[in-house]
Amino acid sequence: MNVLDAEFVLGFMRMANDGWEQGWHERNGGNLSYRIKPEEVNSVKEQFVPKQWEPIGTTVPKLANEYFLVTGSGKYFRNILIKPEDSVCIIELDDKGENYRIVWGLVNGKRPTSELPSHLMNHEVKMSVSSGRHHVIYHAHPTNVIALTFVLPLKDEVFTRELWEMATECPVVFPDGIGVVPWMVPGGREIAAATSELMKQYDVAIWAHHGMFASGEDFDLTFGLMHTVEKSAEILVKTLSMRPDKLQTITPQNFRDLAVDFKVSLPEKFLYEK
């Protein structure tokens, strides 16, 4: 099968374009990666032309010999639909999880996303804590979430509670809450380690003054998760622009009642009295 005809590649391209149309990927901002299933690898493997091995910049032994579809460094999300072979690539990891090589894509040169260490460290964590169900890691620059990192305390409890209150569906969509990473230089091992530590608890991590990381089982769930968080952030930004306090909101007991009806578990640390 031609790589560009594979369902997982088409889903990847659609999700990337959806993010572009939301306005989350200015210039070459953001990145996306997908851990390819063995049967999907086998369906396109005949098209692979392996290049030389390169160091990942970190070690992810639990991902040894795995394949990933990832966006390229310096590539624009707006071009993924029209120039996929130039914009994305499939990489293979070695048997120690220390090196990668491109086996398809990026036909005009370049490397995988500069955030590759963050993506792979987060894939390793989410694969473990989800019993292998999670396959997608998505990083974008949603405007309203970023704006809130300048005015809210950079605490998991605050961001989770404020965003839960903005839309009733939020505690159902992300019942475990949201983690927050203070500002760090992007692309290195330090921010990758901080994010992957949060991903042991959460499916969403916010990078202060930068953007958001989200993890999910498939493209629809992962995009929907980020979309929900950003819409909630937009409502909060609009609310704060009208007045500094809320006349009414969803209470801790309301959340507990919601959890019972929707059969989700909401950590009590987010249901504090204000």
Catalytic residue numbers, as ranges: 115
DSSP 45: G
Dist. CA 27–CA 62, nearest whole Å: 33
Dist. CA 217–CA 45, nearest whole Å: 23
Q: Which two tokens stand for residue 249?
A: 């909101």
Dist. CA 188–CA 61, nearest whole Å: 18
Q: Quick check: 263 and 243 in contact, CB under 8 A?
A: no
Dist. CA 64–CA 95, nearest whole Å: 5
Dist. CA 67–CA 232, nearest whole Å: 34
Give the orientation angle of helix 156-166 with respect to helix 219-242, to 10 degrees.
Answer: 90
